[in-house]
């Protein structure tokens, strides 16, 4: 009989092998969500651009920053947050949303986590297209730095790992779902998504740099605006990924068989 850790690793391997299935299911679920809509997933992009305009106006008014310079940074920050933060907020419902499928089909738990990551990546893609089109119209387009591709890979890996860490306890304790909504809102305001740490004191800036989400957002925002991320952003993000991977594997090994009974 395999050990719980080996069984957890096998679950992940089985989920990877089912990539064609969760890829197709994710596309179908995204399409059905926007059924009979003309713009479809681009509605999320419209929301991103409008919110970014309001926040950029606020930043320019409060900090005296030129809005033409702050708007690209704010949009890129919100775009990065759609993977870093929003996907984390939605992770609490991974198993609950797919409860019917889980109770009727025997699929690995990782299948539903990868399905969640696929939908997050699809939403990000539509928002990314809208971001580039908007920057072209405003004549603020910057050629993305090549590090955007490995940064996306790392962030999507974190999305998958966080999916296990959040979804498993959320299925057992429904209060976690409510807690996550408040936690993500708090993280949004204390993470430099629509503001920068340039105007902070050195002491406050050091505190902001201890926030791992600061580095995850910058890892995407920098290449989106044509710059290479700082090495500290890579080290922080890769270190966070390693720690979270150990926690996720432990949770999957301990509670893999129980999740379906908690639905």
DSSP secondary structure letters along the chain: ---HHHHHHHHHHHHHHTHHHHHHHHHHHHHHHTTT-SSTTHHHHHHHHHHHHHHHHHHHHHH---HHHHHHHHHHHHHHHIIIIIHHHHGGGHHHHTHHHHHHS---HHHHHHHHHHHHHHHHHHHHHHHHHHHHHTT---PPPTTHHHHHHHHHHHHHHHHHHHHHHHHH-THHHHHHHHHHHHHHHHTTSSS-GGGS-HHHHHHHHT-HHHHHHHHHHHHHTT-PPPHHHHHHHHHHHHHHHHHHHHHHHHHTTTGGGG-
Residue appearing with tokens 């775009």: 79
> Taking the chain (263 residues) in consecutive chunks of 10 residues, what is each chunk's mean pLDDT?
81 91 85 66 67 68 64 84 86 85 86 92 87 83 89 94 92 84 87 77 82 92 90 94 93 88 82
pLDDT at residue 39, rounded to an integer:
60
pLDDT at residue 76, rounded to an integer:
86
Name the nearest CA neighbour of 161 among 102, 104, 84, 218.
84
pLDDT at residue 66, rounded to an integer:
62
pLDDT at residue 142, rounded to an integer:
84
Specify the pTM: 0.88
Can you give the residue ranges of every domain in the chain?
A: 4-30+39-262
pLDDT at residue 78, rounded to an integer:
86
pLDDT at residue 60, rounded to an integer:
65
Q: How far apart are CA 212 and CA 219, in angstroms?
A: 11
Q: How far apart are CA 225 and CA 214, in angstroms?
A: 16
pLDDT at residue 44, rounded to an integer:
67
pLDDT at residue 101, rounded to an integer:
82
């Amino acid at each position: 009989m395999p050990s719980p850790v080996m069984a957890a690793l096998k679950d992940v391997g089985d989920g990877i092998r089912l990539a064609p299935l969760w890829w197709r299911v994710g596309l179908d679920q995204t399409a059905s969500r926007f059924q009979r809509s003309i713009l479809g997933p681009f509605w999320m992009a419209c929301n991103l651009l409008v919110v970014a305009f309001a926040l950029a106006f606020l930043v320019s008014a409060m900090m005296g920053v030129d809005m033409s310079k702050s708007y690209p940074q704010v949009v890129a920050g919100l775009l990065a947050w759609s993977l870093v933060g929003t996907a984390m907020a939605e992770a609490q419902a991974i198993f609950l949303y797919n409860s019917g499928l889980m109770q009727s089909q025997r699929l690995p738990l990782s299948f539903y986590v990868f399905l969640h990551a696929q939908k997050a990546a699809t939403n990000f893609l539509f928002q990314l297209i809208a971001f580039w089109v908007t920057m072209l119209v405003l004549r603020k387009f910057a050629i993305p730095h090549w590090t955007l591709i490995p940064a996306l890979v790392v962030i999507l890996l974190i999305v998958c790992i966080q999916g296990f860490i959040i979804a498993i306890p959320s299925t057992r304790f429904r209060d976690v779902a409510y807690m996550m909504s408040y936690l993500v809102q708090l993280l949004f305001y204390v993470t430099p998504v629509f503001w920068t740490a340039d105007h902070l004191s050195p002491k406050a800036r050091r505190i902001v740099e201890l926030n791992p989400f600061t580095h995850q957002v910058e890892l995407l925002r920098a290449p989106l605006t044509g710059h290479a991320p700082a090495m500290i952003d890579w080290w922080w993000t890769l270190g966070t990924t390693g720690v979270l991977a150990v926690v996720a594997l432990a949770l999957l090994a301990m509670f893999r068989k129980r999740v379906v009974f908690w639905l």
